[in-house]
Amino acid sequence: MPAPHTDNPALSAIALFLDVDGTLIDIAATPEAVSVPAELREQMHGLALASGGAVALVSGRAIANLDALFAPLTLPAAGLHGFEQRGASGVCRRRDAPSTAALEVARGAMLQIARQHPGLLVEDKQFALALHYRGVPQLEDTVLAAMREVAARVGDEFDLQRGKMVVELRPARATKAQAVAAYLEEAPFAGRMPVFLGDDLTDEPAFELVNRRGGLSVLVGAPRASAARARLADVAAVRAWLAELQAQPVAALGRLTAEALEGSGRGDPSRGRPPDLGLRSQVR
C-alpha cells in the first residue's frame, strides 16, 4: 500500500506514537464507558494524511477495540501493550500467546478475587487480563498482593503490569517499547524521529526507547517520576498540541523539545528515569 501524500515537510520527519486512554481520551469509570468524539477522529485523520501515514496508536486495549472506538478511521495500531501489532500496510502480527491453561488459571483466580471484593472489575482482553479497582481505591494493597499471587501461579507466561487503578497480566515479553521499535523498522515510520505521548506506567518502556533513539518522550498528566522528558498537563492539552502540530509543526515540536532539553540540563530528578514500580518485568 503506498504511503499517503505528505502535506508538510516538518511532519514527514517524525513518527508519532500515541497512547489512548488518559492521553487521547479521558479515563472513564469502566473501559467500556469511553467514547471518541468525532472531532478527535477528524484530527487523527488529518495528522495521518499530513504526516504521510506515520501515526500509530499504542495501547493496552486490543486492536479490535481500538478500531471500534475510532471507526470508521483505521490507523496503524499496537494493542495489548505490544502483543499484537498492525502496520501501515494493514498486515497484523502477534507475539507468542499465553497457553489456554495459563489463561484459564489466571481468569478463574481473578474472577474469584472480584467476587470476594465487590467493586473490583475484571477486564478480559482474551490474551491479557486486567483487574480494575478504580471504584474501590482503598483496596489497592489488597489487589497488588492478590495479583502477585496470581502471577506466581501462572509463571513466566505473563508479566505483571501496574497502571492507573489497575493491575494487569499481559503476555510475557510484550511491551510498548518493542512495538515502537518494530514500527521504526518499517515504512512510513523508518528513518524518522519518534515522538511518543503517554500517561501511565505502561508507557515508561516506550519513553525509554524513544529517548535512546533521540526522540521526544512526553508524559501526559501531573508531574511524577518518569523517563519522559517533556510534559502536557492533560487530555485537553494533548488535543490542543496535536492541533498545533498539524498547523505549525515546527513550533509545536520546538516548544516540547526545548522543555525536554531544559529538564535534562538542570538534572531534574523526575526526568530521565522510570519510577520504581515494585513489580517484576515492567521495563525491558
Mean pLDDT by runs of 10 across the 284 residues of the chain is 48 96 92 93 96 96 96 97 95 93 96 96 94 95 96 92 92 93 97 96 95 96 94 97 94 89 52 40 34
Distance CA 61, CA 88 (A): 18
For 173, the grid coordinates are 515479553
Q: Where in the chain is the domain with CATH 3.40.50.1000?
A: 11-95+174-265
Tell me if 31 sits within 8 A of 61, measured CB to CB: yes
Tell me if 182 sits within 8 A of 58, measured CB to CB: no
Is the CATH code 3.90.1170.50 the one for domain 11-95+174-265?
no
Distance CA 272, CA 269 (A): 7
pLDDT for 31: 87
pLDDT for 260: 82
pLDDT for 258: 87
pLDDT for 264: 59
CATH of span 100-171: 3.30.70.1020
pLDDT for 276: 37
Phi, psi of 19 (to 5 degrees): -65, 165
For the stretch 185-189, contacts whose Cβ atoms lie closer than 8 Å and that sit 24 or more positions apart, written own/partner, are 186/87, 186/88, 186/89, 187/3, 187/88, 188/3, 188/15, 188/51, 188/52, 188/53, 188/54, 188/88, 189/15, 189/54, 189/56, 189/88
Which residues lie closer than 8 Å to 97 by C-beta, 6 or more apart?
Answer: 83, 127, 171
The number of residues making up the chain comes to 284
For 150, the grid coordinates are 496470581
Cα 223 to chain center, whole Å?
A: 18
Tell me if 14 sits within 8 A of 53, measured CB to CB: no
For the stretch 117-121, contacts whose Cβ atoms lie closer than 8 Å and that sit 24 or more positions apart, written own/partner, are 117/142, 117/143, 121/30
pLDDT for 29: 84
pLDDT for 8: 65
Q: Which residues are catalytic?
A: 19
Q: Where in the chain is the domain with CATH 3.30.70.1020?
A: 100-171
Instruction: Write down the pTM of the prediction.
Output: 0.86
